[in-house]
Amino acid sequence: MNGFEEILDAAAKGAEKYGPVEGDYISPQGLLICGKCHTPKQCRVTYGTRERVVGCMCRCAQQRREEERKEQEALRMEMLKARRKKSAIQSSMLRNASFEGAQSTPTLEKAWNYVKNWKMALENNIGLLLMGDVGVGKSFAAACVCNALLDQGYRCYMTSFVAVSNMEWNDRARFLSQVGEYDLLVLDDLGAQRDTESGRETVFSLVDERYRSRKPLIVTTNLGIENLRNPPNLDMRRGYDRLLEICGPIHCQGESFRAKGRRMSGIVRKECAC
Ligand SMILES: [Zn+2]
């Protein structure tokens, strides 16, 4: 048997799974026709002086195969997203944070506006400073933004000031050298890190790296705006001044509201007076 015949045999074998089934019929030319889509399940192949009938896919079999391919692709994308989120968001509690299904609050509304206007924010290096008491959903809102942009294929990373300042010196230096690579960096809980020279230096370095990369930064904090504008020492002032330059302050409050029917519009500006 020559190579060509082997190929024909393989093709015939591959097409076996598509027929014949009940309802299929034979055309006047002697080829098997699909009873559903009425297109051939067989075709004639001529090579040299010989002719063979081989199986092929009718239209509905082709559609079925295309749907299977799409399903597999969607599954692969979901797995990829889950893997990306796992390595992008350090807190397991925030990894699945999503606007979808969450009860809307003024903070979430502003976070959603930010996502909607992301390209402009990215171009102009506009970040957010989510301020407010514990439990008002600042971290959740920040993680929702992070996840929404991860879903759009952007490189995002969310960690906390505490986690970075607790890193070993080498790890921290490595992390600082790459924070400019992310499209969006989210740093949770400014003010919770140790109030030491090293803690203050970490804050400044993180903010400064981001400032110099000209890419957006989102920070959450329990500190009030007065604390940020008038910190107790000069080390902090350097970092906070820079932070306020690139992140628009948002005062987050805990009350929820009905978002239904409300239109979310306009990007959160640097000088947001909310
Ligand atoms: Zn068919």
pLDDT number for residue 28: 93
pLDDT number for residue 100: 87
Single residue among 57, 86, 115 that ends a domain in this structure: 86
**Residue 269, in any domain of the structure:** no
* Residue 178, number of CB atoms within 10 A of its CB: 10
Choose between 18 and 143: higher pLDDT: 143
33 CA → ligand 1 middle, Å = 8
For the chain, where are the E strands, in sequence order?
25-26, 32-33, 42-47, 50-55, 127-131, 156-160, 184-190, 217-221, 247-251
Note whether 127 and 28 are same-domain residues: no
70-128 pLDDT, tens digit each: 999 999 988 887 887 778 888 888 888 888 888 888 888 889 999 999 999 999 999 99
Note whether 180 and 109 are same-domain residues: yes
**Residue 35, in any domain of the structure:** yes
**Residue 41 and residue 15: Cα distance in Å, rounded?**
8
13 CA → ligand 1 middle, Å = 17
Q: How many domains does the chain have?
A: 2
**Residue 123, in any domain of the structure:** yes
What is the Cα Rg of the chain in Å?
29
> The domain containing residue 72 runs over which residues?
1-86
Single residue among 41, 60, 86 that ends a domain in this structure: 86
Q: State whether residue 217 is helix, strand or coil.
A: strand
Q: What is the DSSP letter of 230?
A: S
pLDDT number for residue 256: 39
* Token code pair at residue 56: 């092929």
Note whether 46 and 126 are same-domain residues: no
46 CA → ligand 1 middle, Å = 24
Note whether 122 and 247 are same-domain residues: yes
47 CA → ligand 1 middle, Å = 27
57 CA → ligand 1 middle, Å = 8
Note whether 229 and 189 are same-domain residues: yes
Choose between 239 and 32: higher pLDDT: 32
Asked whether residue 185 carries a pLDDT value surpassing 50, the answer given is yes
3 CA → ligand 1 middle, Å = 29
**Residue 100, in any domain of the structure:** yes
Note whether 78 and 156 are same-domain residues: no
159-176 pLDDT, tens digit each: 998 898 888 889 888 988
Closest CA to 208 of 242, 232, 231: 242
219-240 pLDDT, tens digit each: 999 888 888 888 878 778 888 8
**Residue 260, in any domain of the structure:** no
Mean residue pLDDT across the chain: 83
**Residue 266, in any domain of the structure:** no
* Token code pair at residue 227: 């604390």
Note whether 98 and 57 are same-domain residues: no
Single residue among 27, 53, 86 that ends a domain in this structure: 86
Note whether 11 and 102 are same-domain residues: no
Note whether 41 and 96 are same-domain residues: no
**Residue 33, in any domain of the structure:** yes
59 CA → ligand 1 middle, Å = 5
51 CA → ligand 1 middle, Å = 24
Note whether 128 and 228 are same-domain residues: yes
- The model's pTM is 0.66
Q: State whether residue 88 is helix, strand or coil.
A: helix
Model confidence at 52, pLDDT cuts 50, 70, 90, reads confident
CATH number at residue 147: 3.40.50.300
Asked whether residue 148 carries a pLDDT value surpassing 90, the answer given is yes
Note whether 79 and 183 are same-domain residues: no
**Residue 188, in any domain of the structure:** yes
Note whether 41 and 9 are same-domain residues: yes
